[in-house]
Amino acid sequence: MTIKELISRSLNGEQLTPAEKAELAAFDPETLTAELNHTKSQLELLENEKLSHSEKLQKELDSLRSAHSTLETEHQELKRRCRIEKLTGEIGCSDADYFDFLARRANLDLDDSAAVREFSAKLSETSPGCFRARITPGSSAGTAQDDMFHHRQHSSFADSGSQVDRIMDSLAAAALVND
């Protein structure tokens, strides 16, 4: 009796004989899987022995073509990723993955600079959080150290003569001298 029949009988509530119970207990699916894999590898070896030299070469060629196709796809993805990283750096986009996602969705040609400019302009309008703040030199009245130094000089704390204030003033002055 097969294992399937024994399981079916057991599920239907039928009593199994001690021999059938022993057979069911001895059943190990992992052993069967290992035997199946071994048999498959032997079959493949036998099939390869039967193949003529040209058939073996054709089979190997097909395998190499498949591997080449996979590698070519990976290469194209890496080139695209590199191009996306370069573009996002140039336009100030801080999220290259999101830019790539939207560019794919819009079927953006990354080699068309006009289309990329237009796309990034629209993206900066719709998602300004994806772009770094555009800060130009001279846009600040001074540095934080300058502000602290001037605040200390003109505050009532500087006149109090406390030791902490004098130390802070000398540190701020030393920082300005080092700049």
User: 7: number of CA atoms within 13 Å, CB side?
Assistant: 6
Whether 139 maps to a domain, the answer reads no
User: 175: number of CA atoms within 13 Å, CB side?
Assistant: 14
Q: Please indicate, yes or no, whether residues 109 and 167 belong to a single structural domain of this protein.
A: no
Whether 172 maps to a domain, the answer reads yes
Q: Please indicate, yes or no, whether residues 40 and 57 belong to a single structural domain of this protein.
A: no
Q: How far apart are CA 103 and CA 119, in angstroms?
A: 8
Whether 18 maps to a domain, the answer reads yes
Please name the residues in contact with 120: beta carbons below 8 A apart, sequence gap of 6 or more.
Answer: 87, 91, 93, 99
Whether 32 maps to a domain, the answer reads yes
Q: Please indicate, yes or no, whether residues 109 and 169 belong to a single structural domain of this protein.
A: no
**Please, which pLDDT band fits residue 17 given cuts at 50, 70 and 90?**
confident
Each residue of 56-74: pLDDT tens digit? 788 889 999 999 999 999 9
pTM, 2 dp: 0.43
Question: What pLDDT was estimated at residue 21?
Answer: 83
Whether 34 maps to a domain, the answer reads yes
Q: Please indicate, yes or no, whether residues 44 and 60 belong to a single structural domain of this protein.
A: no
Whether 167 maps to a domain, the answer reads yes
Q: Please indicate, yes or no, whether residues 74 and 95 belong to a single structural domain of this protein.
A: yes
Please name the residues in contact with 56: beta carbons below 8 A apart, sequence gap of 6 or more.
Answer: 48
Whether 136 maps to a domain, the answer reads no
- Which domain, by its residues, includes 73? 53-130
Q: Please indicate, yes or no, whether residues 104 and 57 belong to a single structural domain of this protein.
A: yes
Whether 24 maps to a domain, the answer reads yes
Q: Please indicate, yes or no, whether residues 68 and 102 belong to a single structural domain of this protein.
A: yes
Please name the residues in contact with 51: beta carbons below 8 A apart, sequence gap of 6 or more.
Answer: 59
Each residue of 88-133: pLDDT tens digit? 888 888 889 999 999 999 999 988 889 999 998 898 888 888 887 7
Q: How many domains does the chain have?
A: 3
Q: Please indicate, yes or no, whether residues 60 and 82 belong to a single structural domain of this protein.
A: yes
Q: Please indicate, yes or no, whether residues 105 and 148 belong to a single structural domain of this protein.
A: no
